[in-house]
Structures are given as C-alpha cells and as structure tokens.
Amino acid sequence: MDLENTQSQMRKGVLEYCILCIIGKSECYASDIIDQMKEAKLIVVEGTLYPLLTRLKNAGLLNYKWEESKSGPPRKYYSLTDEGKSFLQALSGTWGELSEAVTSITSGK
C-alpha cells in the first residue's frame, strides 16, 4: 500500500470540483488553473488536466474561446455554461457531505 497512490486516488473526483470552481470565478486557460491549484498545494498535471477539460467541455459544462497570447501560442480560455454552474453547485454539496462523513468517522462520534 503506497501512500502516494492513495493520495492520487483521493484526488479522483476532487480535481473536477476544484477546476470547475476556479473557472467559475473567472475565465481562464489551462496554465492559470495549474498555477492556482499549485498555490493551494493541490498539484494537477497536464496529462490529467487537458483530458479533464475536454470531458467537461464535451459534457456541456464548459465553453471555450481561443485568444491570441501576448507572447507565445494562442490560448483556450474556458468558462462555465449554465449547466456547468448548476453542476458546480451540486458538487459543492457533494464535497460538503463527503467531508462531513469523513470528519464524523475519523473523530469517532
């Protein structure tokens, strides 16, 4: 049993919530998301992020637009659809419930 692996498993599902949250605050592109998550000490890597963004787009939760960048290649800026906003709401509840369940179990009440 590998601690790092369990950490990775714990991230499953949570990353989706966090990413939707970041995009819900303001339009951003992949590196923005990586930076903001790194700042919060939640590391997400490209191989995870890009397919996840694609899945969310395909599920109708995100829109994107291409924007020229000041220096470097063009960027894909993402924003939430209405559906994305309400899904994020639901995920917030879900996380809250999970969090509380874990607290309940681990505190022994």
Partner DNA sequence: TATAGTACTTTGTATTGCATAGTACTATAT
Partner DNA sequence: ATATAGTACTATGCAATACAAAGTACTATA
Q: Is 21 in the site for DNA (CB under 7 A)?
A: no
- Rounded to a whole number of angstroms, the minimum distance from the CB of residue 43 to a second copy is 9
d(CA 109, CA 50): 40
Helices 14-25 and 46-58: crossing angle, nearest 10°?
70
* DSSP characters over 19-39: HHHHHHHS-B-HHHHHHHHHH
Q: Assess contact for 39 and 22: CB atoms under 8 A.
A: no
- Rounded to a whole number of angstroms, the minimum distance from the CB of residue 59 to a second copy is 4
Residue 30 contact partner, candidates DNA, a second copy, none, CB within 5 to 8 A by sort of partner? DNA
Q: Is 45 in the site for DNA (CB under 7 A)?
A: yes
Q: Which stretch binds a second copy (CB under 8 A): 63-71, 74-82, 101-109?
A: 101-109
Choosing from 31, 70, 82, 104, the residue that interacts with a second copy (CB under 8 A) is: 104
